[in-house]
A and B are shown apart, each in its own frame.
Chain A
Amino acid sequence: MTRNGPLALAFHTVFVIVMLAPIVVVCLVAFTPEGYLSLPTNGFSLRWFRTIANYPEFVHAFWVSLGLGALSSFVAVAFAVPAALAIARYKFPGRDALSALFLSPLMIPHVVLGIAFLRFFTSVGIGGTFSALLIAHVIVVFPFALRLTLAAATGMDRSVEMAAVSLGAGSFTLFRRVTLPLILPGVISGWALAFIQSFDDLTMTVFLAAPGTETLPVRMFLYIQDNIDPLVTSVSACVIAITMTALILLDRLYGLDRVLAGKSDPGR
């Protein structure tokens, strides 16, 4: 009978508490009525949430992050779908090298990517622009979009396509009416994972963002560099709340385990 003993359960409890502690603390401190970092010992206050309104750059940064995430993952998917079909469907010389290239952003430290992009974009004269950020994010999230699409395309029953062809479907009709709907779940979760990745990225973006194109993580990071006050905790609490809402929605709509499965090994 497989049951966890008391020792195992004690370990598990401590483990879970430690995993949750920093997140819970951030959310608690966000409600402090004091002007400095402290746990809200005498009453909760929304003071620091109201303060966010006085810092429009945080709100702006949130919209930049959202737009950047949505757009870059969309572009990445648009490039990834044909590439995934090529890799899943055909055996051709250079195929392994090609997929290694496409997955390589997972292996390259984001600092290195940030430096490389900074160097490149300043020398072509678009440093600090939103387009530069967009291109960089497309590259970084591309492997995530590719892998899930690839898994869907590989798992697909090809006889369905053959049946469609035998019924007279042309190649565009075939793609739009048969192939795309069948791989769509993989494509959507690839998009979702790519979005999360883009929304979260700090290390690379911190090199590329200029005032006006700062994403939320970058804004928060730069703010912490100067002063730590309860404002960043209330912003963080908002981010955590939004993430959790998205998580629950995603879980309801799609099943979180499938999305997370794609994030399991970024090192490969």
Chain B
Amino acid sequence: MAYLELDRVAKQFGAQTVVDDFSLAVGKGEFVSFLGPSGCGKTTTLQMIAGFLEPTRGTIRLEGSHLTKVHPAKRGLGIVFQSYALFPHMTAAENVAFGLEMRNVPRDERAERVRSALAMVGLAGYEERYPRRMSGGQQQRVALARALVIRPSVLLLDEPLSNLDAKLREGMQIELRQIQRTLGTTTILVTHDQNEAMSLSDRIVVMSQGRIEQIGTPQDTYERPASAFVSQFLGKTNDFAATIDRTVASARLVAGSWSAPAPAGFNGSVTISLRPERIGFADTGLAAKIITRIFQGNHWLFQCESECGPAIVIRQNDGQPQPAEGDVVRLTWRVEDMSLRGGGA
């Protein structure tokens, strides 16, 4: 039985449907990310899981029992709010201590846990600061410490690292992952950042306009996007219009000058979806002219104009000479690296 289960949950604000037909089963100890563009309903879904918003339709069950029957204070949830929701009239330490106080943790143990929680998020020495006197990133870390210190059985994180610089964010990501692993905390993370979702989660829920586009492991969603939206949203992608020609003896999949044996199950016009790093330069294949070439440290990014429209190619910087802007090249890829969708691009 799933630990946390959402069954066809929907939420309306007035006439506007913000979340619709949302079904998800989260196992105990699992790390799930909600990924989607701004305004797609991530926070709303999380708030329903937290019990702060009532679903218009559908049910949410925690360990098999109706969530709405359990008082929010008794659910053992640790929440980091998108707006942090720190108590402005309490110092950082008092903020973190609040949940422990509510649980009647003895004073000595409380002080020790507060100290170590703040140290863990890199805020040792900031105990007596008031939130108004902290930077956005520092406030965010206090919020994280406040949620973690109570050792919740479920962690709900609404963009908990959005305000941190790249280095700090990476450190906190590792920290989060470790906590989640060692304590077995069931975690739901809301994020805009696909890299964060990819590197942390067991599964990713890609959302768009209140609906689930795809649920799958990071690798799944990246390599086999279920829709154009998912492939566009998860990193750069190429969509080539192609046709399947079944008139010849052995049917062929054709995109411009590139062709391969046709897979089963498709006919007529199809769309080839392909990650830029899976394309290579070769002697035969899709003809393309390089428009711009951008050096990005560990790799090169080529923007090309191909027979099938614009194409993006990423090549590892392995020290080999690369084609220059204006060169005409041939693009090729392995059949197993692409995914096919019916219909034209």
Contact = CB atoms under 8 A, between A and B. Distances in A.
A–B contact via C-beta, under 8 angstroms: yes
Interface in A1-46: 1
Contacts of B52: 1
B174 interface: no
Contacts of A1: 51-54
**SS class, residues of chain B in contact with chain A:** loop
Interface in B51-78: 51-54
Interface string A37-69: 000000000000000000000000000000000
A98 to B, nearest CB: 30
Contacts of B51: 1
A1 B53 CA distance: 6
**SS class, residues of chain A in contact with chain B:** loop
Nearest to A2: B52
A51 to B, nearest CB: 51
A38 B213 CA distance: 71
B24 to A, nearest CB: 22
A226 to B, nearest CB: 54
A5 to B, nearest CB: 14
A1 B55 CA distance: 11
Interface string B260-300: 00000000000000000000000000000000000000000
Interface string B26-66: 00000000000000000000000001111000000000000
Nearest to B72: A1
B72 to A, nearest CB: 8
Contacts of B54: 1
A111 B43 CA distance: 55
A1 B51 CA distance: 7
Contacts of B53: 1
A251 to B, nearest CB: 22
B52 to A, nearest CB: 7
B71 to A, nearest CB: 11
Nearest to B53: A1
A178 to B, nearest CB: 35
A144 to B, nearest CB: 31
A4 to B, nearest CB: 16
Nearest to B51: A1
B255 to A, nearest CB: 51
A183 to B, nearest CB: 32
Interface string A70-82: 0000000000000
B29 to A, nearest CB: 28
A1 to B, nearest CB: 6
Interface in A150-172: none
A1 B72 CA distance: 9
A1 B52 CA distance: 5
A183 B137 CA distance: 38
A3 to B, nearest CB: 10
4 contacts: A1-B51, A1-B52, A1-B53, A1-B54
Interface of B: 51-54
- For the complex of A and B, list the 4 residue pairs with the smallest distance between their C-beta atoms, beginning with the closest: A1-B54, A1-B52, A1-B53, A1-B51
